[in-house]
Chains A and B, each alone.
Chain A
């Protein structure tokens, strides 16, 4: 199978602080890869590195093209959507405007209109709140908005930074079901960073375990899920 994203020897730093020390990973075309690890392991930084939001060394290859060192806007225009840490809501704009911004780079008006309906299908709450100011939405609704905004780009690769953060367990279940649907129906490849390891391992096909900026374990999600020792010592469930 071909990879949509291939990362080799990735280093990243904030000022003088090194956060990633040469990690390798990949996301299969149409697959879901998850990166697990404790706080401060470098998960969020990994996603930021792929989007060109931090200084990096190493190779990042998106569908055969090197993208490291490119501007975030250009990487996004190449088909990478990012649901960032903290959701990145445009709080002063309406829900509608947030979604329109998601489709900012697209010029196919009819398709965009259809995608609005598709998002309402996934998240009916957004339709109820369509004209409201996005900053007034609840945390869960803002997370739905963040995922929808990213999907409005029609991405080839979706980067998700802790989509379960701050959500009620029932809503998390629902969100992950929707992510699975999007992955299977629309063939959107995903790179998922999660603290909730059991949930992430059920959704993903490939998993990497990050510890202070290094990959310590990698394999299929199934093999890691079934490995009693890894589960107890690293994932804590």
Chain B
């Protein structure tokens, strides 16, 4: 029983990471109907920026917030410079651009920071909080930060005029222009936000998986599974999917063998696509033939 509780709790911690990355994927998908394969590498690259700042002697939280801001700017820049010119290109061309972006970010990180595995600090104390034996401080803190980020994102989209304009631009670009929304900038802003969320996920996961250019590859796969499980066009579903995948992965890993961890993600992806392609909360798309 204790083992199960322990595994569920640490599953929630990694689940929060998957939820954040899945949310970033869903945000881009809603606006462009494309899956950004480079989402994970963007997060990895941002984590390196944070690592460099900390190496240069900056306190953790200062580096944290600067990294989030830089990731946001990087996301906006990538949308404006690389994605926007292929806006009207066929889907496959855009997918190739995303994969190219993935490879470029990956190699760039390897070239600048080398492929050697680096430890990344956690901002939370090493001793477990309140003397409990189930969950480490980093896991608890990472769940907390994930929840705060998710709440902020939902509040932003729900209650601010800019959030409303971004939702409108994603749903109906033509009508959005007719009420004066600058649709192109809303897309860029969406990329910025997704990159910022991803950077936080990267910094939260790096202390556990260690920092290296391929750090996010597995996580992106779990995030895909989470987004698909929740419904690729449902932000709330993606978040819930993230937590479910995290817990499932951990429980299966500890009771059936760790080599099955990644299998969970793949089985989920294939299973969802075969049985219920729209996911738990996604819209079912009906097309007239």
Contact = CB atoms under 8 A, between A and B. Distances in A.
B155 to A, nearest CB: 15
Interface stretch (B161-169, B198-206, B240-248): B161-169
Nearest to B161: A104
A73 B168 contact: no
Given A88-B172, A97-B164, A104 B178 contact: no
Interface residues of A, number: 24
Given A73-B181, A82-B178, A153-B180, A101 B165 contact: yes
B179 A104 contact: yes
Interface in B144-197: 161, 164-165, 167-168, 171-172, 174-183
Nearest to A92: B171
Nearest to A102: B179
A76 B164 contact: no
Contact of A153 (B164, B168, B179, B183): B179
A73 B164 contact: no
A93 B177 contact: no
B164 A101 contact: yes
A76 B176 CA distance: 10
B64 to A, nearest CB: 33
Contacts, number: 59
B171 A101 contact: no
Contacts of B182: 73
B224 to A, nearest CB: 24
A101 B176 contact: yes
Interface string A70-98: 01110011000110100011111100010
A214 interface: no
A223 interface: no
Contacts of B183: 73
B278 to A, nearest CB: 15
A105 interface: yes
Given A97-B164, A104-B165, A90 B177 contact: no
A90 B180 contact: no
Contacts of A77: 180
A17 to B, nearest CB: 19
Contacts of B180: 73, 76-77, 104-105, 153
B178 A84 contact: yes
**Chain B interface category by residue count:** 10 to 19
A183 to B, nearest CB: 20
Contact of B179 (A71, A91, A92, A149): A149
B181 A90 contact: no
A84 B174 CA distance: 10
Interface string A127-167: 00000000000000000000001000100000000000000
A51 interface: yes
Q: Which of A81, A101, A102, A104 has the most CB of B within 10 A?
A: A101
Contacts of A51: 178
A7 B216 CA distance: 56
Contacts of A89: 175
A225 interface: no
A76 B181 CA distance: 9
A100 interface: yes
A72 B172 contact: no
B162 to A, nearest CB: 9
Nearest to B283: A92
Contacts of A81: 178
15 contacts: A53-B174, A71-B177, A73-B177, A73-B181, A76-B179, A84-B178, A88-B175, A89-B175, A93-B164, A100-B164, A101-B164, A104-B165, A105-B179, A105-B180, A153-B180
Given A91-B171, A91-B172, A149-B179, 9 more contacts: A53-B174, A53-B177, A76-B178, A84-B175, A90-B172, A97-B164, A104-B161, A104-B180, A105-B180
Interface of A: 51, 53, 71-73, 76-77, 81-82, 84, 88-93, 97, 100-102, 104-105, 149, 153
10 nearest A-B pairs in the assembled complex, by CB-CB distance: A88-B175, A105-B180, A72-B177, A76-B180, A101-B179, A82-B178, A77-B180, A73-B182, A104-B179, A90-B172
